[in-house]
Chain A
Amino acid sequence: MTSMSELLQHLINGITLGAMYSIMGVGFTLIFGIMEVLNFAYGQLFMFSAYTFLFLYSFFGGNFPPAAAITLTIYFLAGMLLEKTLVEPIQKKTPNWSIPVLMSTIGLGMVLENIALIAWGAIYRGIPYYFKGVLEFSSLRVSYDRLFILIVSVCTLLFTWFVVHKTKIGLAMRAVSQNRKAAALMGIDTNKVYMFTFGLSTALVALAGSLLIPILSVYPTVGSICGMKAFAVTLLGGIGSMEGAIISGFILGIVESITAGFISPFFVDMAAFLCIIIILVFFPRGIYGMLRRERK
């Protein structure tokens, strides 16, 4: 393989991985941007949804659409329930709710991780592939799975963008994010908007959990590193910025697969976080700040 086509190959792999990071980053940044809540159970919800999907996938005899549809529905509802039970009561009781809410999400993450350890044990589980086969153009090879992941991810990102920017509930979400009181004065039920946002965010991470299984096997602690990456993507993008999260997701994916390909797979996480640190030192508000030509 020539080095040029090798580079292209890593780029393609990186773009697939990046699409997943984008989805996770968008989900994470959505609830921060709109509710100012940092959900540190995000990685564990990712892990849990992967197990859920795995169960449903075998239940339906290896049929992707129904398993994914049910997983997404479950996690959309679970996200709404979490908002109602873990976030809303704390927000109602104190104006300084951000740290208590943060702690309650960290706590939830620990509980989920331990349940997973007890229920499924510290074993790697996975699915070898959804669709067998590889697409080849000259020396480039893209598995059908990666192509599938990429298409579903891009559609999901477009769908999410559409919901936030072109629908009535999306307009309400953007209004609530800028001024909760004024939004309530417009007749918006802000609690409902928060629940919907949390549900959407959790459904996004569940989609990432369902899609990633052939690339990344599932084990109870897979959530911690993935959650950390979702947070990193969010920070790199400029916290609260959807566009930023999408771009930074792709940057992270590409950096990781190029590092894995040309240097060593051991350096992947280090390279990813180094890249994040460097960008943040120069642009503390991340990609979003970069696009807005942050001045000092």
Chain B
Amino acid sequence: MHNPVLLEVSNIDLYYGELHVLWDVSLKVYDGEVVSVIGPNGAGKTSLLNAISGIHPIRSGSIYYMDERIDGLPPHYIVRKGIVHVPEGREIFPELTVIENLLLGAYTLKDHKEIERNLQKVYELFPVLKTRKKQKAGTLSGGEQQMLSIARGLMSNPRILLVDEPSQGLSPILVSELFKTIKEINKDGTTILLVEQNVHYSLALAHRAYVLENGKIVLSGEGKSLLHHEYVKKAYLGV
């Protein structure tokens, strides 16, 4: 049976000005899961994450996190609740050092021991960050910047991590490593909502998945069963 629901998005509509981007989108994430949202460019995947993390307001519907309504709250409140968004395109702070970037990830924490513990934890997960800690983040390679972005997200001990297109711009070897790391993070107890264009990897990893097209959820199910779904095979896997 399922664990309790951690995050529940119900019937949300989202607009950019006049442009209707998300249409009546609903989705559930159970505690401990990896849930993937796949879909083509411009389907509204990033907007969905922006709505959850409070970066973009929704027009109607609701978002609940553990029985508490969170839509309408500013992003810095939502982070404090344990929902951390690792944005598309990494969005690291290029002029700050790697360690400063990581400390910003722990901005909401007060306990220095906890921050130090989390730092050791992400260094273990991404050893390269430890060797680069005094370097400006802008000088890192694309893959290292992606690791930094995820590590920064983990610094506040999130309950749920929203990860947007982590494989973007990475070489195939790095992509496969990255997905292994995401799996590890999930095994350590962090729930993950993953938005990806790399359909094969993300469906193989996900417990459950949703297909988002033109702002609407068109299909959902278990990750592995979607991998063999006729429609997904034809539209996304090219087989």
Chain A residues with a Cβ under 8 A of chain B: 168, 171-172, 174-175, 178-179, 181-190
Q: Which 3 A-B pairs have the closest CB atoms?
A: A187-B79, A187-B108, A182-B91
Q: How far is the CA of A188 from the CA of B79 in the complex (A)?
A: 9
Q: Which residues of B contact A179 (CB under 8 A)?
A: 91, 93
Given A171-B100, A171-B103, A186-B105, residue A181 in contact with residue B76 (CB < 8 A)? no
Given A174-B93, A174-B95, residue A183 in contact with residue B74 (CB < 8 A)? no
The minimal Cβ–Cβ distance linking B7 to chain A, given in whole angstroms, is 16
When C-beta atoms are compared, the residue in chain A nearest to B79 turns out to be A187
Check if B118 is an interface residue, CB within 8 A of chain A.
Answer: no
Q: How far is the CA of A273 from the CA of B103 in the complex (A)?
A: 42
When C-beta atoms are compared, the residue in chain A nearest to B86 turns out to be A185
Q: How far is the CA of A179 from the CA of B75 in the complex (A)?
A: 14
**Contact indicator A187/B95 (Cβ below 8 Å):** no
Q: How far is the CA of A187 from the CA of B85 in the complex (A)?
A: 10
**Contact indicator B87/A181 (Cβ below 8 Å):** yes
Q: Which residues of A contact B79 (CB under 8 A)?
A: 185-187
Q: How far is the CA of A178 from the CA of B100 in the complex (A)?
A: 13
Given A171-B100, A175-B96, A178-B94, residue A187 in contact with residue B55 (CB < 8 A)? no
Check if B104 is an interface residue, CB within 8 A of chain A.
Answer: yes
Per a CB cutoff under 8 Å, which of B75, B93, B94 touches A184? B75
A-B contact count (CB 8 A): 59
When C-beta atoms are compared, the residue in chain A nearest to B162 turns out to be A185
**Contact indicator B55/A186 (Cβ below 8 Å):** no
**Interface pairs (28), CB distance under 8 Å:** A168-B107, A171-B96, A172-B107, A174-B96, A175-B93, A175-B104, A178-B94, A178-B95, A179-B93, A181-B55, A181-B87, A182-B91, A182-B92, A183-B104, A184-B55, A184-B74, A184-B75, A185-B53, A185-B75, A186-B105, A187-B75, A187-B80, A187-B108, A188-B104, A188-B107, A189-B74, A189-B76, A190-B76
Q: How far is the CA of A171 from the CA of B96 in the complex (A)?
A: 9
Q: How far is the CA of A185 from the CA of B93 in the complex (A)?
A: 12
Q: Is the interface of A mostly helix, strand, loop or mixed?
A: helix
When C-beta atoms are compared, the residue in chain A nearest to B149 turns out to be A182
**Contact indicator A181/B91 (Cβ below 8 Å):** yes
When C-beta atoms are compared, the residue in chain B nearest to A190 turns out to be B76
Q: How far is the CA of A186 from the CA of B151 in the complex (A)?
A: 12
The minimal Cβ–Cβ distance linking A49 to chain B, given in whole angstroms, is 32
Q: How far is the CA of A118 from the CA of B76 in the complex (A)?
A: 45
The minimal Cβ–Cβ distance linking B143 to chain A, given in whole angstroms, is 19
Q: Which residues of A contact B87 (CB under 8 A)?
A: 181-182, 185
When C-beta atoms are compared, the residue in chain B nearest to A185 turns out to be B85
Q: Which residues of A contact B105 (CB under 8 A)?
A: 186
Check if B84 is an interface residue, CB within 8 A of chain A.
Answer: yes
Q: How far is the CA of A178 from the CA of B87 in the complex (A)?
A: 15
**B residues 49-85 in Cβ contact with A at 8 Å:** 53, 55, 74-76, 79-80, 84-85
The minimal Cβ–Cβ distance linking B140 to chain A, given in whole angstroms, is 15
Q: Which residues of B contact A188 (CB under 8 A)?
A: 76, 104, 107
Given A172-B107, A178-B95, A179-B93, residue A185 in contact with residue B100 (CB < 8 A)? no
Check if B152 is an interface residue, CB within 8 A of chain A.
Answer: yes
Q: How does the 8 Å CB contact mask read for B85-121 relative to A, with 1 for contact and 0 for none?
A: 1010001111110001001110110000000000000
Check if B202 is an interface residue, CB within 8 A of chain A.
Answer: no
Q: Which residues of A contact B103 (CB under 8 A)?
A: 171
The minimal Cβ–Cβ distance linking A79 to chain B, given in whole angstroms, is 22
Q: How far is the CA of A160 from the CA of B152 in the complex (A)?
A: 27
Per a CB cutoff under 8 Å, which of A168, A178, A181, A190 touches B96? A178
**B residues 108-150 in Cβ contact with A at 8 Å:** 108
Q: Which residues of B contact A171 (CB under 8 A)?
A: 96, 100, 103-104
Interface centre among A172, A174, A185 (most CB of B within 10 A): A185
